[in-house]
Amino acid sequence: MTMELVSFDPALCRQCRGLCCQGTPGLWADPERFASLFFPNGFPSPNDLPRQLNRHKLVLRPVLGTNIPAPRRTEEGCAFLTPTGCALPAERRPCQCLALVPSLDTLLTGEIDCRLPARLRSDRVAARWRRWWPLHANFNSTGQKP
Ligand code: SF4
Ligand code: SF4
């Protein structure tokens, strides 16, 4: 679902030095994509999920009553942010990171003016995960054990 929503402008983002990554990291919007990227051999059990996410430098972020996988956040921003950019290969990056449309105004003003397509907004992403969790055995709609 996200490959048509990739918006790259490497030159612009290089000059910006990842202002978006210094704030709140993006979310994986597509549960199936997330599961196949990080847990291709099966989604961890509820008890094991925190440990497995931690191993990948990920957390579950509560958004509108639903837990959504996201990169761990540090004082400097995203745990994957390095001096040379994102440590994750593009194909593993959160859907929101891939879809954010770079804007020259971000460079000019120093404030993030880059926009997400409507279907990648966090409320829409939360709705998608809310539908997905109950389909996954042993989870309820908040992503926690019942
Ligand atoms: S804030 Fe915008 S211009 Fe800067 S790195 Fe992120 S997407 Fe690129
Ligand atoms: S995963 Fe990569 S692109 Fe996304 S916020 Fe973190 S450093 Fe930035």
Domain that holds residue 13: 3-135
pLDDT at res. 141: 41
**pLDDT tens per residue across span 76-131:** 999 999 988 899 999 999 999 999 999 999 999 999 999 999 999 999 999 999 99
Quick one: which ligand is closest to 14's CA? 1
Check residue 139 and report its DSSP letter: -
Core vs surface per residue 98-132: b (16+ CB within 10 A) or e? bbbebbeebeeeeebebebeeebebeebbebbbeb
The rounded percent of the chain whose pLDDT value lies above 70 is 90
- 144: in domain: no
| Residue 2 pLDDT exceeds 70 | no
122 part of a folded domain: yes
Structural domains counted in the chain:
1
Residue 38 lies in a domain: yes
Model confidence at 46, in pLDDT bands (50, 70, 90)? Answer: confident
82 domain residue, yes or no: yes
* Within-domain flag for 143: no
Residues touching ligand 1 (Cβ under 6 Å) are: 12-13, 16, 18-20, 100, 102, 106, 112, 114
State in Å: Cα 105 to ligand 1 middle.
10
Taking a C-beta distance cutoff of 8 angstroms, is the pair 25, 77 a contact?
A: yes
Residue 33 lies in a domain: yes
Q: How far apart are the first and last CA of the chain?
A: 29
Residue 140: inside a domain, yes or no? no
Measured in angstroms, how far is the CA atom of residue 136 from the centroid of ligand 1? 34
Q: Is 79 in the pocket of ligand 2 (CB under 6 A)?
A: no
What's 105's DSSP letter?
Answer: H
In a domain, 145, yes or no: no
Q: How far is the CA of 27 from the centre of ligand 1 (A)?
A: 15
